[in-house]
Amino acid sequence: MKTTTLLGNTSNSPKEVKVPMNPQPQTDLQKRIQESVNTHASKTQGRKQDYLVIHCTATPEGRNVTSAEIKIWHTSPPPKGNGWKHVGYTHIFHLNGGVEQLVANDDDGWVDTWEVTNGVAGYNSNSKHICVVGGLSKDGKTAKDTRTPEQKKSLEKFVKDFHKKHPTVHICGHNELASKACPSFDVQAWLKSIGIKNPKIY
């Protein structure tokens, strides 16, 4: 133990107190500071999010798709699947309007390494990908906007909430970043129709 003199007391003589030399447990403030440092270090491993990309599952109108199917399509080795390390989307929008999260995401405006999804080649490290079930007519070949009223409602809410939180992130369709029909509707026209002024970064 070490002794030191404190002069700020109300008695006439200095008061000696014993100060332990061994380290003490971190205070709550110290813990929060360390957590902040660790969080920043984690983020520097990823990239700032620039895009929210909307996809479709490219499945026939009216056909339900489960998250298990998507995981098989994307992560199973060929020929059963694509053999990717990650699925292509963080969220899917089911026919009944339900929204299912497939990949953990803290929605902080950064794409950390553990949040990356394989949505568009060349854009995955700075994008978040979401997907609407459907996108083809019942023949399974022709691109078509098959969104149900419930899907439109839940997608609008999700995108509006996202845009309010991240107003500088550009929202677009897969077909704006690659030669694809996906998501089978004009995302920019739809954004305008729901009152979102979309920032352009490309």
| Of 51, 89, 91, 94, catalytic | 89
My answer on whether omega of the bond before 79 falls inside 30° of 0, hence cis, is yes
Residue 66 dihedral angles phi and psi, to the nearest 5°? -100, 160
CA distance 194 to 144: 20
Can you read off the two tokens belonging to residue 46? 């990823």
Note whether 151 and 132 are within 8 A (CB): yes
**Catalytic status, residue 180:** yes
| Of 56, 131, 172, 182, catalytic | 182
Q: Hey, is 92 helix, strand or coil?
A: strand
CA distance 154 to 151: 5
**Catalytic status, residue 152:** no
**Catalytic status, residue 182:** yes
**Catalytic status, residue 174:** yes
| Of 51, 55, 94, 163, catalytic | 55
**Catalytic status, residue 197:** no
E strands, the chain, in order: 2-6, 15-19, 47-48, 51-56, 59-60, 91-93, 99-101, 110-111, 127-132, 135-136, 170-173
Q: Hey, is 3 helix, strand or coil?
A: strand
CA distance 124 to 88: 9
Residues designated as active site: 55, 89, 174, 180, 182
